[in-house]
Chains A and B, each alone.
Chain A
């Protein structure tokens, strides 16, 4: 369950209390302590007056007789006299329970009734109650009873029954005067079952083939084909990944680090479904795969890889222990708690997390129970001897890979050496250049101060450095800043040189002119004053005799070598300042090293859970008082929950000597699938049912306890569970069993009668109309627009924030200040199924999030389906929909050519899998014409083809944003 709340008084528990409480009191039934009163006191009072190590006022309320005995304030109740009962008085006065919570008026009234009636109990109370006292009422709760295969019931309308499933359903429908609805047509059925099994729409060809299949067993053959499709594993694997809380990131901290290897677990799940791995094996591998294979050496064999990968299930909980910024002990214990939460909600269908701090308020699960269960996992998840995600990585490298890596690394190390030497060189160069700007008499002292170890500088040296920060701050990391400073100097040098050039030329001319005999000088001056092109031949000759007076920059060296040399030196210095940039050069060397290292074969890792194979180190599990790891109490060993152990006992080893590991998880996992566990089969069968029908037979698939819903068809659930286990936990067989029923084949049409008697369709007198899940919405858009890239498996397609913070597909490419740089081409990865989109907990892909993709905190046992205006806005305006509408339009045009009628019919067929009726086609064509004109009016220059194309695109957008697309009958 999610532990978030809003300020100003969240009503989480209060809300639940209003709904659930003790069993309702019916007029005929006599009130008893066990059934009606104890549950109320358990919720509100037991923590302080019963279960805990603290017993306030020495009062224990767990038995009627203990209440009469009372505590420090005397008897708690006076049977027959509510007004004289201390407990009742405190409750009515609002003094108990302390704090803000109050008993409801109904609850108070019930207590009054009970006391007035003499405080009756259902039976004689036990002599003593230990820590695990379970009442008869608790023990007889429905989900803790063994699965018993019920007989298939007889029904009045046996002709409607295609499978035993139908008989169970029909039996209840007939009790309400209802029946199953008639069969849906084939177009409806193929769309329904294709989305159901593959998460994709059927192609028009598949629809036609099925509709026209006149051979017997057409439906069964269709199911066979779909179950054999690799897309089946993608669809049903995704369902399991919800329960497992699959994510490609660690969560917990704001960092939300990426889990680069999690995808192997996802692929293991997909393959398991495609290969029809039986659920018992599937579960055992996930809980104890590491205990099934020999201790892995440095190099793994395929069986080890698979089994270790399977344990990724226990590595899906948010894990902030390697992310920094978290309190280590808290973060570690959270991982353990979340892992237990995932296992218990997905496999056991219980919310045992409550018992982490105190006995479960509603279900018979004690604090001790919780920590015994924790002890099963503790040898692998030991907060005292913790391994961070990084430390748990198991390499997939082979010996050959390692050798290649060693060789390349040695090569790169040489470049690193060069980099180091070059850095030192540049630091010295920078230092010397900066010293030139300091008064000459201080240079040596400053150099010495700079070179002195920072801790050993004298006060005078420190003061000197403080005065010249630009010397003091020279360091490898700051070199780029000094590069900029050199650039400034070069600029200054250049502008100084420009001035010098003019000056030197002028000075040289003056000097030459001065050297000419005085008599010639006026004529030479006059000639010089005339523009070169306009000089008379005589003037040219005259000047020819005195070349020095027409000196230019080009021939300055001939007449004034010293000046020319100075200019040359300046020019060269500027070039040097510009070209020999420390940071550029160092970056280049670094890039060389990187280039070499890039040749190292990529090292893959398995994200697995293993125990540290050291028998001496088996951690002790202690009960944490109030769930606080800083208050450890008694030590406990591994055990099944006592309420379950009572029915299906199991002896969990402390440390199995036959195994290198403790064997705790392996024994526990085998016990779970041993066939006697009351919950495991019911829970998984219910999950599978839920995905076929939209709701489970138990409508709270993650909670089969008091707060969960009761099964609508308990006998059907048991029959399915027994059938499933009896036939070897085969999931595909279970699909067939369900899909072959008349119930699955019903129409979805609502009738007035069904609506009145069963508005929520709990009795399944029709098929429910269901909205596609977020992934199916996106995948269907990709599929019908002809864009889907069917590549399976492998690394997740990354997500990133775009410039406004929307999460889109893409590779993040930000500058140092987190602003986007160039877009990186995804090379077709953007067209892959949503299953392969990176599940970054803090960054759900916008289009998926809009349609309710779950956030894994830590997992999701049941999706929600919202219906909000933001979904409409996304369908109306988003880049995603606009782009793929255009793609669908282009596809249609490419497939059927220019005829508008054919285009419209094709688009409809692609989007909905059915043929558009003539009236619909007429309507669509009208729209097309109207829209074409509208686009034509908008465009600046006439472009009939463009307007037509855009109109078609708009029509396609209409089709894929309509309910017919989003919902399945």
Chain B
């Protein structure tokens, strides 16, 4: 155990973090810990901590496809829909949009084919996914059971359908810290075309200390607020400023020799500058090889933006960042109408970069320890929404059975898990609730979901929050059985 003085100093440091913040570790600051008495305080930090069990996963990249990608058009083929195309749906449907509700079945306009050794069937809209299908586990039986975006997003990303709880990334960094001192532990990367639904709640620390809030890497400069200066104050300008500051502080210190607090603050500016340059390096993809650029689709206008974020995500994880989450813009996958043209456009933007990310992680030996997640908060209905002609039709929300894919970090590679009914409406076999997914995820990180708790209002709070989440063996690779 650390000696009390060190511990206190850390505690005080960690307690006072602004959101940016959160982020980083400051072991360096310990060099000058002034001794001050303090009553027992909470002591939170981002030092890496060893989970209870040997972990399979140590980092995660989540590509959150907000809006609800249509499972029956992408990775859960349903020939029955095409047989009944245009006819009355034989079962019961839960609608969201009343005015455009229809009971007519909508067949899938795209072709599915078996791919890889595992033979998983993938739609022609996702050639990238088809190419990495043997490294990926497709979960076809996801279920949150609450039919609107906000609540279902919170279920998938915070464990409960309520607003205000800590995000998955906050829980993981709360439990495990980070393996970098110079970069944020939990990074959220937003789409330049707009924030996702529920805005900043997507990476909120909830009631966990703000140390565990996600730090946003923005699409424009400065990419990380406070961690980088506005563009016009960079480079020479900033080194001049830091030089001035150092002279001022040393002059001030000269008449106050031996004041450890003042010395520590001088040292902290040096550390801050190092953090700043580390962030700059991590975000700079220009030194990556041409073939890497191509792999992520940086050579193509359509995929460049998302591809760049995927590539940065890999660079962050490589440098010890624990959790990176990428968001698509507002309702990017919410295809209530014009699904025939919109869904292919959405796929086109993200499919190749997502596949490139998995391929790249694998070739660098990082995939074994990095969970990659691709999916949204819902899927879509088997019936038509907006029955206004073939170009206009879409599909409404469906949280009773939808698909996502997982790769790496101890998840099974190749194949599928769970099934939906013959129309792809409801999960019927091996249903995976959001809390089962979370329990399994924590398990792979070496954490017993019951043990990762935060005492609040006299009660142990957890990601699962009392929901009966279980580690699902069918999702795990051989050798990672619970």
The answer to the question of B21 belonging to the interface, with a C-beta cut-off of 8 Å to chain A, is: yes
The answer to the question of A4 belonging to the interface, with a C-beta cut-off of 8 Å to chain B, is: yes
A927 and B42 contact, Cβ closer than 8 Å, known pairs A760-B36, A804-B218: no
Chain A, 414-428, contact with B by CB distance < 8 Å: what is the 0/1 string? 000000000000000
The answer to the question of B226 belonging to the interface, with a C-beta cut-off of 8 Å to chain A, is: yes
Query: Is the pair A805, B214 in contact by a Cβ cutoff of 8 Å?
Result: yes
Query: Is the pair A481, B15 in contact by a Cβ cutoff of 8 Å?
Result: no
Query: Is the pair A8, B248 in contact by a Cβ cutoff of 8 Å?
Result: no
Report the bound CA distance from A755 to B39 in whole Å. 24
The answer to the question of A750 belonging to the interface, with a C-beta cut-off of 8 Å to chain B, is: yes
Q: Which of A774-819 contact B (CB under 8 A)?
A: 801-807, 814, 817-819
A478 and B216 contact, Cβ closer than 8 Å, known pairs A254-B163, A878-B226, A931-B240: no
Q: Which of B230-267 contact A (CB under 8 A)?
A: 230, 232-233, 235-238, 240-245, 247-249, 251-253, 255-259, 261-262, 264-266
User: B453: which of A7, A469, A804, A866 is its contact (CB, 8 Å)?
Assistant: A7
Query: Is the pair A849, B29 in contact by a Cβ cutoff of 8 Å?
Result: no
Chain A, 806-834, contact with B by CB distance < 8 Å: what is the 0/1 string? 11000000100111100000000000000
Extra A-B contacts (20), CB below 8 Å, given A473-B99, A852-B15, A877-B276? A2-B41, A7-B447, A467-B88, A478-B99, A804-B19, A817-B330, A846-B20, A850-B21, A851-B16, A862-B38, A868-B26, A869-B272, A870-B17, A870-B24, A873-B272, A877-B230, A935-B237, A954-B240, A958-B245, A969-B256
The answer to the question of A73 belonging to the interface, with a C-beta cut-off of 8 Å to chain B, is: no
Chain B residues whose CB sits within 8 angstroms of the CB of A807 once the complex forms: 19
Query: Is the pair B259, A769 in contact by a Cβ cutoff of 8 Å?
Result: yes
Chain A interface residue bracket vs B: 35 or more
Report the nearest B residue to A771, measured CB to CB: B261
Q: Mark the stretch among A12-20, A59-67, A139-147, A589-597 that contacts chain B.
A: A12-20
Query: Is the pair B226, A481 in contact by a Cβ cutoff of 8 Å?
Result: no
Report the bound CA distance from A820 to B198 in whole Å. 10
Chain A residues whose CB sits within 8 angstroms of the CB of B275 once the complex forms: 869, 873
Chain A, 893-924, contact with B by CB distance < 8 Å: what is the 0/1 string? 00000000000000000000000000010011
Report the nearest B residue to A933, measured CB to CB: B236
Report the bound CA distance from A5 to B460 in whole Å. 10
User: B175: which of A7, A876, A958 is its contact (CB, 8 Å)?
Assistant: A7
The answer to the question of B452 belonging to the interface, with a C-beta cut-off of 8 Å to chain A, is: yes
Report the bound CA distance from A19 to B39 in whole Å. 11
The answer to the question of A865 belonging to the interface, with a C-beta cut-off of 8 Å to chain B, is: yes
A959 and B248 contact, Cβ closer than 8 Å, known pairs A4-B454, A6-B174, A866-B16: yes
A873 and B12 contact, Cβ closer than 8 Å, known pairs A7-B452, A8-B49, A878-B226: no
Tell me, rounded to whole Å, the shortest Cβ–Cβ distance linking A438 to chain B: 12
The answer to the question of A474 belonging to the interface, with a C-beta cut-off of 8 Å to chain B, is: yes
Chain B residues whose CB sits within 8 angstroms of the CB of A862 once the complex forms: 38-39
Chain B, 73-99, contact with A by CB distance < 8 Å: what is the 0/1 string? 000000000000000100011010111
Report the bound CA distance from A703 to B417 in whole Å. 57
Report the nearest A residue to B456, measured CB to CB: A4
Chain B, 90-115, contact with A by CB distance < 8 Å: what is the 0/1 string? 00110101111111000000000000
**Count of interface residues, chain B, beta-carbon cutoff 8 Å:** 125
Query: Is the pair B163, A703 in contact by a Cβ cutoff of 8 Å?
Result: no
Query: Is the pair B13, A5 in contact by a Cβ cutoff of 8 Å?
Result: no
User: B251: which of A320, A844, A920, A955 is its contact (CB, 8 Å)?
Assistant: A920
Report the nearest A residue to B242, measured CB to CB: A876
Query: Is the pair A871, B268 in contact by a Cβ cutoff of 8 Å?
Result: yes
Tell me, rounded to whole Å, the shortest Cβ–Cβ distance linking B210 to chain A: 7
User: A484: which of B40, B99, B203, B252 is its contact (CB, 8 Å)?
Assistant: B99
Chain A residues whose CB sits within 8 angstroms of the CB of B42 once the complex forms: 2, 4-6
Tell me, rounded to whole Å, the shortest Cβ–Cβ distance linking B343 to chain A: 20
The answer to the question of A934 belonging to the interface, with a C-beta cut-off of 8 Å to chain B, is: yes
The answer to the question of A110 belonging to the interface, with a C-beta cut-off of 8 Å to chain B, is: no
Query: Is the pair A963, B253 in contact by a Cβ cutoff of 8 Å?
Result: yes
Chain A residues whose CB sits within 8 angstroms of the CB of B43 once the complex forms: 6
Chain B, 32-60, contact with A by CB distance < 8 Å: what is the 0/1 string? 00011111111110000111100000000
Report the bound CA distance from A814 to B195 in whole Å. 12
The answer to the question of B451 belonging to the interface, with a C-beta cut-off of 8 Å to chain A, is: yes
Report the nearest A residue to B257, measured CB to CB: A750
User: B237: which of A864, A938, A959 is its contact (CB, 8 Å)?
Assistant: A938
Query: Is the pair A325, B39 in contact by a Cβ cutoff of 8 Å?
Result: no
Query: Is the pair A803, B200 in contact by a Cβ cutoff of 8 Å?
Result: yes
The answer to the question of A485 belonging to the interface, with a C-beta cut-off of 8 Å to chain B, is: yes
Report the nearest A residue to B214, measured CB to CB: A805
Chain A residues whose CB sits within 8 angstroms of the CB of B13 once the complex forms: 866-868
Chain B residues whose CB sits within 8 angstroms of the CB of A475 once the complex forms: 98
Query: Is the pair B17, A850 in contact by a Cβ cutoff of 8 Å?
Result: yes
- Can you name 27 A-B residue pairings with CB atoms under 8 Å? A1-B39, A3-B458, A5-B455, A6-B42, A254-B162, A469-B95, A470-B102, A485-B100, A750-B256, A750-B259, A752-B258, A806-B18, A818-B198, A818-B200, A852-B16, A865-B36, A867-B13, A867-B268, A869-B29, A870-B24, A873-B276, A877-B222, A877-B225, A879-B230, A930-B240, A938-B236, A954-B240
Report the bound CA distance from A48 to B276 in whole Å. 55
Query: Is the pair B244, A958 in contact by a Cβ cutoff of 8 Å?
Result: yes
Chain A residues whose CB sits within 8 angstroms of the CB of B222 once the complex forms: 877
Query: Is the pair A700, B40 in contact by a Cβ cutoff of 8 Å?
Result: no
Report the bound CA distance from A416 to B380 in whole Å. 39
Where the two chains meet, the residues of B that have a C-beta atom closer than 8 Å to any C-beta of A are 1, 4, 7, 12-21, 23-24, 26, 28-29, 35-44, 49-52, 88, 92-93, 95, 97-103, 149-150, 162-165, 174-175, 190, 194-195, 197-201, 203-204, 206-207, 209-210, 213-216, 218, 222, 225-230, 232-233, 235-238, 240-245, 247-249, 251-253, 255-259, 261-262, 264-266, 268-269, 271-273, 275-276, 330, 388, 392, 447, 451-459
Query: Is the pair A482, B226 in contact by a Cβ cutoff of 8 Å?
Result: no
Tell me, rounded to whole Å, the shortest Cβ–Cβ distance linking A4 to chain B: 4
Report the nearest B residue to A7, measured CB to CB: B452
Report the bound CA distance from A226 to B426 in whole Å. 72
User: B213: which of A466, A707, A805 is its contact (CB, 8 Å)?
Assistant: A805
Query: Is the pair B272, A473 in contact by a Cβ cutoff of 8 Å?
Result: no
The answer to the question of A442 belonging to the interface, with a C-beta cut-off of 8 Å to chain B, is: no
Most A Cβ at <10 Å: residue of B199, B271, B455: B199
Most B Cβ at <10 Å: residue of A7, A334, A930: A7
Most B Cβ at <10 Å: residue of A18, A320, A473, A695: A473
The answer to the question of A842 belonging to the interface, with a C-beta cut-off of 8 Å to chain B, is: yes
Query: Is the pair B199, A801 in contact by a Cβ cutoff of 8 Å?
Result: yes
Chain A residues whose CB sits within 8 angstroms of the CB of B162 once the complex forms: 254, 325
Chain A, 6-43, contact with B by CB distance < 8 Å: what is the 0/1 string? 11100110011011000000000000000000000000
Chain A residues whose CB sits within 8 angstroms of the CB of B49 once the complex forms: 8
User: B200: which of A759, A760, A801, A935 is its contact (CB, 8 Å)?
Assistant: A801
Chain B residues whose CB sits within 8 angstroms of the CB of A755 once the complex forms: 258
Chain A, 930-969, contact with B by CB distance < 8 Å: what is the 0/1 string? 1100110110000000000010001101110111101101
Chain B residues whose CB sits within 8 angstroms of the CB of A931 once the complex forms: 237, 240-241
A870 and B18 contact, Cβ closer than 8 Å, known pairs A474-B98, A817-B330, A938-B232: yes
The answer to the question of A488 belonging to the interface, with a C-beta cut-off of 8 Å to chain B, is: yes
Report the nearest A residue to B164, measured CB to CB: A254
Query: Is the pair B197, A817 in contact by a Cβ cutoff of 8 Å?
Result: yes
Query: Is the pair A958, B241 in contact by a Cβ cutoff of 8 Å?
Result: yes
User: A867: which of B29, B95, B252, B388 is its contact (CB, 8 Å)?
Assistant: B29
Tell me, rounded to whole Å, the shortest Cβ–Cβ distance linking B229 to chain A: 4
Tell me, rounded to whole Å, the shortest Cβ–Cβ distance linking B446 to chain A: 11
Query: Is the pair A954, B272 in contact by a Cβ cutoff of 8 Å?
Result: no
A819 and B38 contact, Cβ closer than 8 Å, known pairs A253-B164, A334-B458: no
User: B95: which of A467, A473, A865, A873 is its contact (CB, 8 Å)?
Assistant: A473
Chain A residues whose CB sits within 8 angstroms of the CB of B174 once the complex forms: 6-7
Query: Is the pair A927, B240 in contact by a Cβ cutoff of 8 Å?
Result: yes
Report the nearest A residue to B21, measured CB to CB: A870
Report the bound CA distance from A844 to B213 in whole Å. 13
Chain A residues whose CB sits within 8 angstroms of the CB of B214 once the complex forms: 805
Chain B residues whose CB sits within 8 angstroms of the CB of A771 once the complex forms: 261
Report the bound CA distance from A242 to B457 in whole Å. 20
